[in-house]
Structure formats: structure tokens, C-alpha cells
Amino acid sequence: MDKKMITYWSIILAVSMLIYVVLDGFDLGVGMLFGFTRDENKRRHMLASVSPIWDGNETWLIVAGVVLWGAFPPAYAALLSAFYLPVTVMLAGLIFRGVAFEFRVHAQRTRRIWDIGFVLGSLCAAFMQGAMVGALAQGLPVTNGRFLGNDMTWLSGFSALSGVALCAGYALLGAGWIARKCEGETREAALRLTPRLSVTVLILLAALFVHSLLSNLAVMQRWVDRPALLLVALVALCAIADVFVGVRRDSDTRPFRAIVLLFVCAYAMFAISFWPYMVPFAMTIAQAAAPMSSLKFMFWGAGLFIFPLMLIYTLCSYNVFKGKVDDSAGYD
């Protein structure tokens, strides 16, 4: 029972984080692509594609944070100590982009300031998320559950490249979403941009994967011992190929679905490389778990009701706002 409870909360945490990455990923991507056009009609069209659901997407970050805090407090303490600065910058970016999203519709003389804030907020949040993942993959100085580094330990060439890679990945997700939801020139521009972003993401992912294998023998040994795991990488390559097929066939939905599959594969490759560690090679999931009494207490509230209700709410929201966004529609 104890092991099952830990596994249950591990799955809840992993699924919550994956949902956040996919859902908030595409609206952060839309925010970054927003800066590539100065046409107000296109900008309003892009914002209209995410306006009904962007704040709901960010709720999954709160869900993941609460599960990490409640179910795995030692990992929460170590990771927050290591990532205090990037988490602060990420949250500031998310807050500022939300304020900019709401204020720009009412602004006249200051609209350009809010436009810049929306783009920079999206970029900062995406970069910091990628940098934290890169620092986690590279390894943190955690001993006996305590972080022994300083405020800038998280920043390195590898973590910076990971931040750039996630920015490119979110931009690709955003382009796929715009092609799926928008019409006219806004859709065409997103489809034209998708192949170039796909190639960029593929190159960056390959560079990060190879670097991780060569710099960490434990990770390489895991893939060498289980060559069947390379099927996940093969599926990722097929997803990239499907993006190109979808663009060539002028499909609305196929590129976005393929990009989501690519993100799922990248997420799975990260998990495979470090399982069962929550803090790679420093703290396992079992070591990070809260006392069993706490996990069981949380199960009857957050585990059994809140998480399923969040899933139902998300599915209902996307069902209500399915379909194309008219190019004359405002986002306010």
C-alpha cells in the first residue's frame, strides 16, 4: 500500500507537469510569436485564440507545485532552494504577461509598453522553465536533502541552451495552435513558420540529448542497457516528420497534434533518463515522499477529487471553446 501511494502521487505530479507544459506551452508560444508581427489585426487574432483558456492553463502549474509541496516536501525544499531566483523571475514573467494581456485592450498611448511586456513575460517564463530543467538534468549539489550551492548554481551553458530549446519548443507549439485555431493570413504565417521552428527544435533537442549522454555515464548506461527505450526517440522523429507532412497537406490540426506528441516524447525521455530519482542522482522518489499518513490524508481530497475535477474542467473548457476563431473577433 505504501509503495502504491507513493507511485500514485508520482503519477499525479508527472501528469500535472506534462499537462502544464503542453497547455501553457502553446499560449506562452503565442506570446513569443506575438512579437513577430506588428499588424494589430493579426495580434488581436492571435490573442483571441488563447483568451478563453490561458489563465486556466496556468492553474496546472499551481497543481504541480502544490502536489510537490504536499507529497514530496524534501524535494520541494531542495529544488526551491536551488531555483529561488529563476522561479521568482518565471512567476514575475507570468504575472506581467497576464497584466499586459488584460491592460493592452484598454490602453491607447501605452499599448506598445504592454505589447512588449506580453512578449518579454512569455519569453522570461519559458526560458526560466527550460533553464531549470537543464540544471536539474545536469545535476544539483544536493547532499542529505540539502542544497549546497548558491543562488547562481542553476545557471550554466547547458541550462541556458535548455532554456533556449524550450523557448523554441513553445514557439513551435504556439505556431501549431495558431494554425489550428486561426484563419486567413494569421494561420498561413504560422504554417510557414512551423517547418523552420521544427528543424530548430530538432537540432536543439539532439544536442541536449547527446550532451546528457556523454556527460553522464549513468544516463548513458541506462539507455545502453535498455536499447528498446530508443523507440521513444524514434517516435519523436516520426512526430517531427508528421509536422512537415501536416504543413505540406495544409492541415489545421495535424501539425499541432504531432508537436504535442513530440513534447510527450521529450518529457518521457527525460523521465526515462533519471527514474526513479526526483532530484537526479541525489534524491529518489521514495526518499522525497512525505510520511504515509500525509499522503493518505491528501488522497481523500486533492488526490481523489480535486485532480479529477481539474481534468474535467479543462476538458469542458476546451470543448466549449473548440473550433476556429474568426479573424474579426476581438479577444476582450
First to last CA, the chain: 50
Of all residues in the chain, the percent with pLDDT exceeding 70 is 98
Statement: residue 28 has pLDDT above 90: yes
Kindly state the helix (H) or strand (E) to which residue 55 belongs, with its residue range: helix 54-71
| For residue 1, pLDDT beyond 70 | no
pLDDT at position 85: 94
- The pLDDT of 293-320, averaged and rounded, is 85
Q: Report, at the CATH architecture level, how domain 2-319 is classified.
A: Up-down Bundle (1.20)
DSSP 142: E
The stretch 88-114 carries a mean pLDDT of 88
Residue written as cell 512579437?
35
Would you state the cell numbers that stand for residue 109, as one nine-digit string? 498611448
Q: pLDDT tens across 261-285, in order?
A: 999 999 998 888 888 888 888 888 9
pTM of the predicted structure, to 2 decimals? 0.93
Radius of gyration of the chain (CA): 20
Find the DSSP H helices in the chain: 2-33, 40-50, 54-71, 73-82, 84-103, 111-138, 157-181, 184-215, 217-225, 230-248, 254-274, 285-288, 292-298, 307-320
Contact call for residues 258 and 242 (beta carbons, < 8 A): yes
What are the pLDDT digits (tens) for 51-86? 888 888 888 999 899 999 989 999 999 999 999 999
- Note the pLDDT tens digit of each residue in 181-225: 988 888 999 999 999 999 999 999 889 888 887 877 777 777 777
pLDDT averaged over every residue in the chain: 88
pLDDT at 212: 81
What single letter denotes the amino acid at residue 198?
S
pLDDT of 331 > 60? The answer is no
Residue 37, Ramachandran bin (φ over 0: left; ψ between -120 and 50: alpha; else beta): beta
Per-residue pLDDT reduced to its tens digit, 216-253:
777 777 777 777 778 888 999 999 999 999 999 988 89
pLDDT of amino acid 329 = 58
What is the model's pLDDT at position 310? Answer: 87
Beta strands in 157-306 (DSSP E): 277-279, 283-284
Q: What's the pLDDT score for residue 328?
A: 63
94: nearest Cα among 185, 7, 20, 191: 20
Contacts of 259 (CB under 8 A, 6+ apart): 172, 173, 176, 198, 239, 243
Q: Which three cell numbers stand for residue 209?
A: 540529448
Q: Residue 197's pLDDT is what?
A: 94
* C-alpha cell recorded at residue 50: 488563447
Give the residue-averaged pLDDT of 116-129: 94
Residues 139-179: tens digit of each pLDDT: 889 888 888 888 899 999 999 999 999 999 999 999 999 99
Instruction: Domain ranges for the chain, please list them.
Output: 2-319
pLDDT at 155: 92
